[in-house]
Amino acid sequence: APLPLWKRALPERLQRRSTLQLIRIPTSQNTQVQVYLLGTSHVSNDSSADVTLLLEHLKPDVVFLELCEQRVNLLTPAEENNDECVDSSNSTDSSLWKRVQQIQQHSNMTKLSAFSTVLLTRVQHRYADSLGVELGSEFRVAYEYCISKPHGRRPLLILGDRPLQLTLLRAWEHLSWWETCKVIVSLLWSSLQKPNPDELR
């Protein structure tokens, strides 16, 4: 199928991305807001490169990240998270069970669901380490793009995701008992075995 006109105006690398879409939203002033929606992977250097290329090409007024304040530490190292673009406090991970208790205190999750959530996060980190990439680096490059611009031309950065724990809680609520068991066994197995970088790629 031929490329749409809007995609032909983009760099060749982005023209091949089926995860990149354009949404046109009409406004009350008879104009349109153009939203470029780019799907990414949290453990992919390619995704980070796509984000950088798209931002540099479009020079947008607003950058919207599917990220909640609970995960704002993905944007910068913890000691740098006091930049004016994003303001949030972060707690450091300690033991597995302490993290499970922290999740339970801030959500309505059962201990089993909170435990599975911690396992899922650890599996993601292991995958990222195995691939030699930084987890959520596509978020970081978008953040760095924003703060690199002078104040007059700096895009507005919006964290636009609901809290991660709420998303996971709703996901767990829709699983049957048997499905929950299968997910937990899979997470346990994934957290114990060494990831194969070739299979992950």
**Which pLDDT score is estimated for 86?**
39
Q: How many of the other CB atoms lie within 10 Å of CB of 48?
A: 20
CB 28 within 8 A of CB 74: no
Helix, strand, coil abundance in the chain, percent, nearest 5: 55, 10, 35
Q: Which residues make Cβ contacts (< 8 Å) with residue 110, sequence separation at least 6? A: 104, 172
- Residue 201's pLDDT band, with cuts at 50, 70 and 90, is low
Query: Is pLDDT of 19 > 90?
Result: yes
**Which pLDDT score is estimated for 200?**
64
Rounded Cα–Cα distance for residues 170 and 163 (Å): 11
**Which pLDDT score is estimated for 116?**
76
Average pLDDT in the chain:
81
pLDDT digits 0-9 by tens, 36-75: 999 998 888 889 999 999 999 999 999 999 988 777 877 8
Rounded Cα–Cα distance for residues 115 and 117 (Å): 5
Rounded Cα–Cα distance for residues 21 and 127 (Å): 27
The owner of tokens 């760099």 is 11
